[in-house]
Each structure stands twice: as structure tokens, then as C-alpha cells.
Structure 1
Amino acid sequence: MFALLHKGKNISHKRKVTETESNVLLSILLHPNQITIGSAINMLKAQARLGYFESPTSKPTLRRWCTEWMENHLATWEQTRKGSKYVAERIVKTIHRDARLLHVGQVWVADGHTLAFDILNPHTGKAQRMTMIMVFDWASRYPVGASLAFTEDSQHIQTAFRNAFLNTSHWYLDKDAEGNTVQTRPPFAFVPEAVYLDNGKAFRAKLFHEYWERHDLELELGGVFPKLGIEAHFAESYNAKAKVIERFFRTFQEQFERFISSFRGANVADKPSTLMRNEKWAKALYKREAPTIRDTMQMIGFYIRHIYGETEHGALEGKTPWQVFSSALVPEERMLRPDKLNFMMLATERKSVRNDGIVFNKLLYWHVALMDNIGKPVIIRYDYAEARWILVYDMKDNFICQAELRRSQHPFIHIDKNNPVSHQSLKKEYTQIKKLQRLTEQHARDFVLRNQEAVDNLLEPYVRESLSAPNPTFQQGGMITAPEPEAQDRIEEMERELVKELPELEFIKPEEQSFGTAKPNPNTKDTPDDTLSADPDPEEQDDDDDESFYGMLKKVGII
């Protein structure tokens, strides 16, 4: 209906271009080499002169037709000439997101940005570009953590996130009336609900995304984000407009990077004149001085806090990023103690214990507690930024020790006479080794003695019984039997049996013994006549003994 209303108005007349000419031109123009319209028309006319086909249309008409076709088919034109990334960023619409629905600390965005200026490499002393890993709070548009690295790797990504988690001093430090800094509450770490990450390999590392509870500790090691209760989501490839941090990087490049004397340019076409060949005048006037890593971090931190952070942002309704970020209320459930956060963010790896310690990154770590775990697999936890110690756990996650980095000694210390530190270090380690040997010997001896004593006490009755038990394997009866015992032998045997049946004699003290005297009767009074008794008659005593002896013989059956 609308077409009928406007019929005859702004009618575009069709160019008189043959089908062959249009096909040839489009086959040349719709190509990633981005051939210009003029070059395509010249190639068309050259082929027509060679007799490949006819081309009656003039060059100006062909140029106007190409321009009109490009304007009417812009998506196809850009797709074939500049690719999908360009079309996704410039042609296809993006999702309209309202960041006002987010709260501070709810979603953080992280990505890497290759700096457009040189920094001194502390290892080589040469100036080179570095990568800045940035963690960005989406709601406030404020950078909360960062790290510098020569490559975008998991180690420096973890450092950037740890800096972001611990960037909470403005919530527990304040100024008193005299301007002194006071602490209003214990320090804490703050973790977001979710992170929105780049699609790169380093950001998808196991260090961050392996779920600890879904894997056996003996087989897999856990990721940082699941342990902290953080959801991780990834941006789509070739979709920079979906990441709000990309707009910050463009602002950072214009407001900070271009002010550094070692600036190299955003691209080849943007290269400063001091880097042009044979440009002596500019090189002599403008000196290029690459800053150190420490100076670079200080400058970037100052820019983020006092320049970018204090500049009003259009998406924040006239507020500054720092104002929105620092005034937000932090949910208690997203807070962590710094020591707990440090432990959870330690990298983990499985190792085996050797007699000289644990080998990690071509370094040796040792502790006396490792002697009882030689040959066993263990789990080590370590900090990427601190190589002096590692924490060692068994496969059930029980703490064993904190192993220390071992120092290597001179292979032949006798020729290193001018280094007293080496001699002292060697002597100290040698003394320690000898002490460990003595302690090991003493511990083993004490353990063996205690264990042997307990076993001896347990088995002693059984050993005694086994020694007196019959042993038919080695001992059998004699071939000549013993003769029958004679009468005298039987008498002696019976006497021995009789003696065993006699009652035990009562012991009488010497002072109570009275030889040949009668024991006084306490119930009768002593008289002078009864005090002493007469001696017994020897003949009567012998008769009594004979009668008792014959009575015994009759009793035992001898007579």
C-alpha cells in the first residue's frame, strides 16, 4: 500500500549494464583482496579488448552501477570483502543490554589487552610490548584488578583475579577527624556471582573451570571459580561489542597509552614518526624511554583511580566509576577471609616424593616429614608468585608439611675458598643430614625394642608350652626300654610322695623356741613344783619311735 502511495516518486532508473558485465564485475569485487571499483572496471575493459566478451557500457556508468549495487547490498559486500568479524561488529545488530539492572560485584568482565607501548623486560633488559590482564566491574565500569604479563597465561590471569578479590580496602578503611587512616572492620575479600570471560585458551584453562567435586582427587585437580562459587561464562568469538571491557581498552589507549614516550601505535598505520625509517629529525627531538614494569603498574593504577575513576561516565547517569563502585553495599555471603581465599586460589598439582625431596619446576623442595612418604604420590599447593615454599598434602587431602626450596651447593667446595657463605651453607646441610641419620637410627631402634618386647610378652606362654611339648619329628622313644624299678626304688618314690602330702611346718622364731621345756598354761597358776618338768626316759622315747616307724611301713604296704 505504501508503495502505491509513493508511486512515481524517487524512481531509480536501471543502468544499462549487460548481464555479462555485471557478473564479471561482481566476481572481481566480491573478494577478500578488496579490489577497488576502478581496478575492476579496467580489468573488465581489458578483457573486452581481448575479445573475451562485449562491453558496450561506458566506464562512468559502470562505476555508478557498482556504487549503487554496493549500497543496496551492503551486508553481502562487506561479508565477502571484510569477513564475518567486521559484519558482526558493523552490520548485524547487537543485543541491547541495560547495565542498570546489574549491581556492583554481581558480574565481572575479564580480558587481555596488548599494550601499545614498550616496557623494559627485567630478564633481557630489552624493551617490548606486554599484555595487561584486566578485571572490570560491569555495573560500575570500574577496573578492580589487573596484572602485566609477556604472554596471556593462566598464572597472570589468576593474579589479576586475586588482586580484584582483595581490592576492598575502601570498604573497611576510613579517615578519622584528624585525617588518620583507621580500620572500621576486619579485612575481607569479595567474590562476584559470575565472571564474563574472553574466549581464549588461557581463560579456559583447568586452573579456573574444573569442578572439584566432580572429580576424584587422585585423578583431577580443582578449578578456582567452582571452589569460590563463581559462575563462568564466555563471550562469543568475533563479538567484541558484547564485552563492555573492549570500550574501556579503547578509552585507555587514547587517554593513557598515547602519553607514554615508548608508544608504538594502535596499528601499523598509526605508528608514530619516531619509528619510521630514516626519520632522524623526530628521533633526535623526541626520545623514546621505555618504563619499567613497576613504574608501568604505578602509572596505570594512578590513571585508573584518579583520572578514569573520577571522570563522569555517560552510562552511569552523571556519576563516576569510582563513586558507584566504592559506595556500593557488599553482600555478606560474597565475603571471604583473605587467608581462606589465598588457600583456595593456590594452584594444585600431583607429584611423587623422592629421597631428595619433591621436584617442581626443576627445583627441589624438602622437609623432614617427607622422609615417611618417600615413593608415595602427594598433592602440592603452590603460589605462582612465591617459589620459596610449597604445601604438601597426601592423597586424602591431609596436610603433611610446608616444604622449603633447597639451595644447590658447589660441586667441589674446596676450590671455592673465597665464598664463606657456601662453606657455611654446606656445613649446615651436612650437619643436618648427620643429625637426621642419628635420629632415624634412634627412632628405628626404639621402635624395634618396644615392638619386640610387646610381642615377647604376648607369645611367652605359648613358646614355653611349645618347648615342653612332644616333638615326634625329632624325638622318638629309645630302642632299649628301661628296666622295672626295684623295691628300694619304689620305697624312695613312695617316700617322696608321702613327703609331698605332709603339712607345712610352722616357722617358730628363735626366741619363742623352748628345747626340752613345757609351754606354760596361761589358765593355770605357776607353782614352784610345776615350773620345771622332768627329762623324758630315753628308752621309752625309742620304743615310741619304733612303733611309729612300723606303723608307717604297714600303712604304705611294705609289711
Structure 2
Amino acid sequence: MHPAVIRFNNLPAIVSQSAWSEASDKARKTAQNRTALVKHWLSSGLSVDKARTALIESINSGLVTPAIHQAVTDLGKVPTRATAFNWVNAYKLEGVEGLLPKHKGRMPAQPKWAARALELYHCINSPSFALVAEDLKKLGFDATASQVRRFINSMPHELGPQSPYRMGAKLYREKHKDFIIRSTAHIAPGFIYNGDGHQVDVYVAHPKTGKAWRFELTAFQDVASRCIVGWEISESENAIATMTALTRAIQTHQHIPSMLYVDNGSGYRSKMMSDDCCGVYAQFDIEVIFAIPGNARAKWIERFFKHMEEHVGKRFESYCGPDHNEREKLKLLNDVKKGKRALPSLDQWIAEFKAFLEHYHNSPHPEIKGKTRMQVWEEGLIQEQPAIADFVVLPRTKVKVARGQIKLHKRVYTADYLFQFNGKELVAGYDLHDDTYLVLYEQTGEFIMNCRIKNKVEALPTSRIEEADLKRLQGQEKRIQNQLSEKRARADQKRVIDVDAVEELAADVDAIPEIEPEVLNMDLSDFEVEHFEAAQANYQIDLGDLHE
């Protein structure tokens, strides 16, 4: 059974009570006065319109009974023609109760097709009222689209046109359900950062190719002050951009947050970041809270991204946010391809973004009145400085020492006396930009030594970031090649095979039957030979004539 039907069957029954018993004395008095006029019109033997006109003439001439005159006086005036007809019809249907002020009539009984209509209307494809009515008629019910519409609109909100079964439970919860108001007044600045990635809604020229490109902005926001403490730009959300944005915030402000509130993206859940032994969180003893999947509105930084696009993104013609002009965007991209117009550069966007951050940080704080975001940050920050002020944060991973060597990322590293750690599992910190060295640590975090590169595989880039870019490029080339092969296969008509013809050719062929040669029995003595005499010439030839 459909969940909407179950909810409909569990609705509390409406007990029909007498409207007259629940009405006030004033409402009853009004109904009695209306009843007096209606009875007077019906007893006159005239139509309602003529009876009403006759009543007006009688009142003007003073020829009216005291009861009718008192009823008109209490009502204030003689009702209009339309109201008079409504009163008469209501009195005929429901009696005196029908003439009570604001009386909505008796509760109608639910139609026989109610449960079936709810099941059809709340199916996954969200059909219209007309389609539901058509399906009900096919099932033998006499229902029209207007009847279905009135019935659905009379249902509670969770069974109406904007029910969770039609618009989805997640969107219904975000749009119609109650929400929790969170306060950050009790949180000290610098205690917890909120991090997230956002694909910027602006097309810029790619720094290398010059083509239209949308980049990823990874940012960390202090929850208490709302200040953006660190940010990084990348091709897409990844662990390197996350680590760079976080460590840049630590190095710039000389402060390590106690907690992080991030989502479950690959940039935050990666082993480089979240490993219990070697991850960046473990290096700085940061406790991480991962948000509930699908609950993006719980993160404070989402409001910042919306505010940022409003004040930065919309200043560029290449803006492509949810409320952009699709036709103008396509026209712009087409002109860019033809070389008629140019896209903004990444540096232009960064300059606009930095100017916005300056204005944003010096704007009033949304919760603390009379102070800006920057004032809240500077006045309330209690710095937890890193152990080393000038540091380079190295991603870490576990390695094993064998024969005085360490193999990592297709590279071999060695150091003096490294053989003394043969067979042990250590922690190696590696530089993303320079692969000529490693820094070895115990699993508890104590420094051991620096290792130098011994050799590496040919054609291996020096920078691990370049190596990652190369792998990404190879993957893109492979995907493009697969798409090209698929398009060629679809376009090649020779590859279209007639299955019936192939099956006919592959079917077993019956062998040619062996035919016995036909033998004729003949006797040579049966043949007769007839002798013919040489035919004599019928004319004479003179040989002498030939010589002449």
C-alpha cells in the first residue's frame, strides 16, 4: 500500500457536531432573522426576486408586519438579490443551521475513489489532476479532474500538491519542515573552522589553454567570527587543495583550531587528511566533525558562498549561477570561441574576490551587534601557535625500510644508517613540489632523519603535483578516446549486422542426396546398318570447260 494511502487511513475522524449547538447567541439571532425573511418570501407565492422587491416596497410604504420590520432592522438592510437566493437555497438544504454566519455546511462524505486517487496522484511521476481522473475512469470510477483537484486540495499539507511523495523528502524537509536555529554566541573565535568546496559560478579563461573554465574554491571559515581564514583555488575538490587551504590558514594566523566541521567529500575524507597516524588532522591534533550527508544547509559557509556569488560572481558577464541569463551566457561562450570577446582572467576574479573579502570582514557581524567580523576575530582569538612558526607542511604516509632503502611513489630514497631501521614501519613526510628528499618520523611523531632520493623511474616528473596532473591528463585522453571509438562505431553503417541473415547463413545445410547412375541394357545385335548407293550426278560436267 502506498505510504500516502496509509497516512490517509490514519487521519483522525472528524466528528460531525450540530452547528447550531456550537453557535453563539449572536449568530443564532442573526440566523433567526434571516429565517424570518426567507419564510416570508416563500409564503408569498412569488418568486424570490419578486418577493424581495415587494418586501422593499412594503417597507418603504410602512405596510409590513412588526416581526419582519424588526428582522430587517436587526440585519441592517434588505439583502441583495444574490444573497437572497443564497439564503433560500441554504434554508432548503440545511434549515436554520444553513443561515448561520460563516456556516460552511455539513462535512461531505469522502468519495469512493479517495484512496485510489491518492495512490495515483502521489506516484513517483507526479501526474496531473486530469491524468488521475482519466485513470480513475478506466478503473470504473466516475470522477472528473475538478473533483480530484478539490479532493487533493482538501487534504492535509503532507498529502497535498506539495507532498514529500511528489517533491521528494529532502526538498520537502528543507522547504516546509521546521528548522533548528543555531547560535554561535558561546563559541570562541578560532575554536572551530567550517570548511567546504564550491565550484565558482563564473567562466574565466583557463590560465594555460584560454578556454572557458570553472574552478573550485576551497575555503575555511571561522564559525564564531565568520571570517575566511584560508582559501585555495584548484581544478576540482581534492586533498591537496584542502591541505593547502588549511595549512595556509594555520601559517597566516599562527593558530591551530581545535575542531573542523567539514563534509564527507574526497578532499576531507582522503587518507592524506584523515589518517589516524599520518593525516594532516593528526599532525595538528584537530578533531574533525563530518556533516550529515545531504544536509548542506547545516554548514555556515554555504551562506558565505551564496553571499560571495551575489557580490563577486554577478559582477562578471560570464556569470552562470542559478539565476543567470542562459541565452546571454551561450551567446558569450559562442563569441569567445569565435574570438570576438574575451573571458575574464583568473587574476581578475582573484582581485575582485580579495576586495570582497576586505569588505566582508569589515561588515557588521550578524549576531554580535556593534562589531564587525574582523573585530570579533581579533578581539576574541586565543592563539594556539604551531610548534614551528616557519614551517612547510608535508603530507605523510607509512613506509617500510628494506635493505637501507625506502620506496615511495616509484622513487627510491636512502640515508646514512638507514639500514638500522630495516624491517620497521615508519612515517615519511614528502614534499609535493620537490621529490628530492623525505623526512622520516616515528609513528609517535618523533623526528628521525632526512632521506635523499637515490634513483627514480625514467620520465618521472620532479613534482608530485605535476605527476598527478599527468595522470589526470592520461585519464582524460583515455576517456576521450573511448568516446571517439563509440561515436565511430555508431556512425559506421557496416558494423550494423542483420541478425536474421547471419542466422540463415549459419544454419545447417542439408547434404545433396546421392543419385544412382541410370543404366541402359542394350544388345548390339539390335542395330541395323543400311547401305546406300552413291548418288549419281544429275548433270554432266565437261572438264575441258574448267581449263578454259
Same fold (TM over 0.5): yes
Aligned with residue 300 of structure 1, among 353, 374, 393: 353
TM-score calculated relative to the size of structure 2 = 0.56
Residues 400 and 279 from structure 1, CA distance in 2 versus in 1: closer, same or farther, beyond 3 angstroms? closer
2:148 match: 62
Q: Amino acid of the residue matched to residue 260 of structure 1?
A: F
1:40 match: 129
Residues 286 and 28 from structure 1, CA distance in 2 versus in 1: closer, same or farther, beyond 3 angstroms? farther
Residue 105 of structure 1 deviates from its aligned partner by 1.0
1:237 match: 293
CA–CA separation in structure 2 for the residues paired with 1:27 and 1:121: 51
Residue 85, structure 1, aligned to residue 170, structure 2: yes
Residue 95 of structure 1 deviates from its aligned partner by 2.1
Residue 314, structure 1, aligned to residue 329, structure 2: no
Q: Indicate if the aligned counterparts of 1:25 and 1:41 stay in contact, CA closer than 8 A.
A: no
Residue 208 of structure 1 deviates from its aligned partner by 3.8
Equivalent residue pairs, number: 366
Q: Indicate if the aligned counterparts of 2:296 and 2:302 stay in contact, CA closer than 8 A.
A: yes
1:23 match: 115
Aligned with residue 137 of structure 1, among 205, 222, 229: 222
Residue 331, structure 1, aligned to residue 382, structure 2: yes
Residue 113, structure 1, aligned to residue 167, structure 2: no
Deviations along 1:114-161, one digit per CA (max 9) or x if unpaired, are 211234555665432222111111111111111122222222211111
User: Which secondary structure does the structure 2 equivalent of 1:93 belong to?
Assistant: coil
CA–CA separation in structure 1 for the residues paired with 2:134 and 2:106: 21
Deviations along 1:262-310, one digit per CA (max 9) or x if unpaired, are 32223xx745323337997999999351423x55444423321x22222
Residues 311 and 74 from structure 1, CA distance in 2 versus in 1: closer, same or farther, beyond 3 angstroms? farther
Aligned with residue 269 of structure 2, among 204, 208, 211: 204
CA–CA separation in structure 2 for the residues paired with 1:357 and 1:123: 38
Aligned with residue 192 of structure 1, among 251, 257, 265: 257
Q: Amino acid of the residue matched to residue 380 of structure 1?
A: A
Deviations along 1:19-65, one digit per CA (max 9) or x if unpaired, are 34433432333134333xxx3324523652xx5313254x4343333
Residue 80 of structure 1 deviates from its aligned partner by 0.8
1:99 match: 184
Q: Amino acid of the residue matched to residue 343 of structure 2?
A: E
Deviations along 1:347-372, one digit per CA (max 9) or x if unpaired, are 21233567896543345556566577
Residue 163, structure 1, aligned to residue 163, structure 2: no
1:53 match: 140
User: Which secondary structure does the structure 2 equivalent of 1:134 belong to?
Assistant: strand
User: Which secondary structure does the structure 2 equivalent of 1:85 belong to?
Assistant: helix
Residues 95 and 224 from structure 1, CA distance in 2 versus in 1: closer, same or farther, beyond 3 angstroms? same
Q: Indicate if the aligned counterparts of 1:313 and 1:320 stay in contact, CA closer than 8 A.
A: yes
User: Which secondary structure does the structure 1 equivalent of 2:214 belong to?
Assistant: strand
Q: Indicate if the aligned counterparts of 1:106 and 1:192 stay in contact, CA closer than 8 A.
A: yes
1:224 match: 280
2:396 match: 348
Residues 85 and 52 from structure 1, CA distance in 2 versus in 1: closer, same or farther, beyond 3 angstroms? closer
1:259 match: 315
Identity %: 22
Deviations along 1:98-117, one digit per CA (max 9) or x if unpaired, are 22222211221111112112
Q: Indicate if the aligned counterparts of 2:113 and 2:136 stay in contact, CA closer than 8 A.
A: no
CA–CA separation in structure 2 for the residues paired with 1:82 and 1:62: 19
RMSD of the alignment, in Å? 4.1
Residue 162 of structure 1 deviates from its aligned partner by 1.0
Which protein shows a greater Rg?
1
Q: Which runs of 5+ in 2 are unaligned?
A: 1-16, 28-99, 460-548
CA–CA separation in structure 2 for the residues paired with 1:291 and 1:14: 69
1:151-550 matched pairs, under 5 angstroms: 151-168=236-253, 189-211=254-276, 221-266=277-322, 270=324, 272-276=326-330, 287-292=341-346, 296-304=349-357, 306-326=358-378, 328-331=379-382, 334-339=384-389, 342=391, 345-352=393-400, 358-363=406-411, 365=413, 378-393=426-441, 399=447, 401-404=449-452
User: Which secondary structure does the structure 1 equivalent of 2:371 belong to?
Assistant: coil
TM-score calculated relative to the size of structure 1 = 0.55
User: Which secondary structure does the structure 1 equivalent of 2:201 belong to?
Assistant: strand
Residue 261 of structure 1 deviates from its aligned partner by 3.6
Deviations along 1:434-489, one digit per CA (max 9) or x if unpaired, are xxxxxxxxxxxxxxxxxxxxxxxxxxxxxxxxxxxxxxxxxxxxxxxxxxxxxxxx
CA–CA separation in structure 2 for the residues paired with 1:203 and 1:390: 24
Q: Amino acid of the residue matched to residue 23 of structure 1?
A: A
User: Which secondary structure does the structure 2 equivalent of 1:161 belong to?
Assistant: helix
User: Which secondary structure does the structure 2 equivalent of 1:19 belong to?
Assistant: coil
Q: Indicate if the aligned counterparts of 1:108 and 1:135 stay in contact, CA closer than 8 A.
A: yes
User: Which secondary structure does the structure 2 equivalent of 1:25 belong to?
Assistant: helix
Residues 222 and 137 from structure 1, CA distance in 2 versus in 1: closer, same or farther, beyond 3 angstroms? same
Q: Indicate if the aligned counterparts of 2:240 and 2:267 stay in contact, CA closer than 8 A.
A: no
User: Which secondary structure does the structure 2 equivalent of 1:203 belong to?
Assistant: helix
Q: Which runs of 5+ in 1 are unaligned?
A: 169-188, 212-220, 412-559
CA–CA separation in structure 2 for the residues paired with 1:150 and 1:157: 12
Residues 401 and 365 from structure 1, CA distance in 2 versus in 1: closer, same or farther, beyond 3 angstroms? same
CA–CA separation in structure 2 for the residues paired with 1:194 and 1:331: 14
